[in-house]
């Protein structure tokens, strides 16, 4: 569905991604691991067509994901309705005066019919019905996260990119989101720090190193028990005389 082929990307002088290659097939649920600064967020933005690699290419359903292709109306509409990115901080995604307008915004841009029906369907699905007339800026962190997620899911994307989706959620909402993501047929790539949460959702893990390269791509359960790979990825370490271990940060 999406192929990442030998991409290099940098914002200034130094590359934040080097020679990254992998492909994600329909229906896969993939965890994206790496220490802070390894390039996880940049990789998600690249796959969402918000930024573009200096070297290599990304293919969406066999078509190059480039600035030029995104200027083509048919390709842009298909891509933007098929791929959704949830940012780590929901505040950067919320800009409408009320939640209803937040949910309907994307549908209006794509001229998608049955807007009111879809807004109420997804509002009920994510327990937002009582918040539809409220301002998003006045909501709690967990509520904002659900509004941001609903604004993506209402477009019924086939490919979902999530950047630390549990970072602002309390334990109850975290449990709800795990169950919800597991219920989706959508293809999923999720940047995450928490191994326990990742194991509940993903079957596969892609790991970026501190050197901004893909150092592991395989079964997540095997990776979680591979001390050598965990150490190589900078996720497993020793301190204070303790046995080697990893920390969960979400």
pLDDT at residue 49 tops 90: yes
The whole-angstrom separation of Cα 180 and Cα 125 is: 10
3-state secondary structure of 147: helix
Percent of the chain beyond pLDDT 70? 92
Minimum mean pLDDT range among 19-23, 177-181, 218-222: 177-181
187 beta partners: 159
Per-residue pLDDT, 237: 58
99-124 pLDDT per residue, tens:
999 999 988 887 667 899 999 999 99
Sequence-distant (≥ 6) Cβ neighbours of residue 2 within 8 angstroms: 23, 24, 47, 58, 59, 60, 61, 83, 159
pTM of the model: 0.87
Percent of the chain beyond pLDDT 90? 60
Vertex 167 angle, CA 99 and 9, to 5°: 95
Give the pairing type, strands 55-60 and 2-10. Answer: antiparallel
Helices (H), 126-193: 141-153, 171-183
Per-residue pLDDT, 127: 87
pLDDT band at 243 (very low <50, low <70, confident <90, very high): low
Cα distance from N-terminal residue to C-terminal residue, the chain: 29
35-44 pLDDT per residue, tens:
888 999 999 9
pLDDT at residue 210 tops 60: yes
Sequence-distant (≥ 6) Cβ neighbours of residue 168 within 8 angstroms: 89, 90, 141, 142, 144, 145
Write down all domains in the chain, each with its CATH number in brackets.
2-87+158-232 (3.40.50.300)
Mean pLDDT of 179-199: 91
DSSP state for residue 91 in the 8-state scheme:
G
Helices (H) and strands (E) in the chain, counts: 10, 10
Which is more confidently placed, 189 or 209? 189
Helix 171-183 vs helix 141-153: angle between axes, to the nearest 10 degrees? Answer: 10
Q: Phi, psi (5° rounding) for residue 209?
A: -90, 170
Per-residue pLDDT, 249: 39
């Amino acid at each position: 569905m999406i192929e990442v082929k030998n991409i290099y990307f940098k914002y200034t002088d130094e590359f934040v991604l080097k020679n990254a290659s992998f492909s994600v097939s329909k229906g896969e649920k993939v965890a994206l691991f790496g220490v802070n600064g390894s390039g996880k967020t940049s990789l998600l933005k690249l796959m969402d067509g918000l930024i573009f690699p200096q070297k290599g290419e990304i293919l969406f359903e066999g078509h190059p994901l480039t600035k030029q292709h995104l200027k083509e109306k048919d390709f842009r509409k298909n891509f933007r309705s098929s791929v959704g990115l949830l940012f780590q901080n929901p505040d950067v995604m919320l800009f409408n005066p009320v939640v209803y307008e937040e949910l309907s915004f994307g549908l209006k841009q794509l001229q998608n019919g049955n807007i009111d029906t879809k807004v109420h369907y997804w509002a009920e699905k994510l327990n937002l019905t009582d918040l539809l007339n409220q301002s998003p800026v006045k909501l709690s962190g967990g509520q904002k996260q659900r509004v941001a997620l609903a604004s993506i899911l209402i477009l019924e994307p086939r490919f979902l990119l999530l950047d630390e989706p549990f970072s602002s959620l309390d334990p109850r909402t975290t449990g709800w989101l795990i169950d919800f993501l597991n219920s989706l047929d959508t293809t999923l790539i999720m940047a995450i720090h928490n191994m326990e949460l990742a194991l509940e959702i993903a079957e596969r893990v892609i790991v970026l190193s501190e050197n901004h390269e893909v150092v592991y791509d395989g079964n997540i359960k095997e990776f979680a028990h591979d001390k050598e790979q965990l150490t190589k990825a900078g996720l497993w370490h020793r301190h204070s005389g303790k046995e080697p271990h990893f920390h969960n940060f979400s």
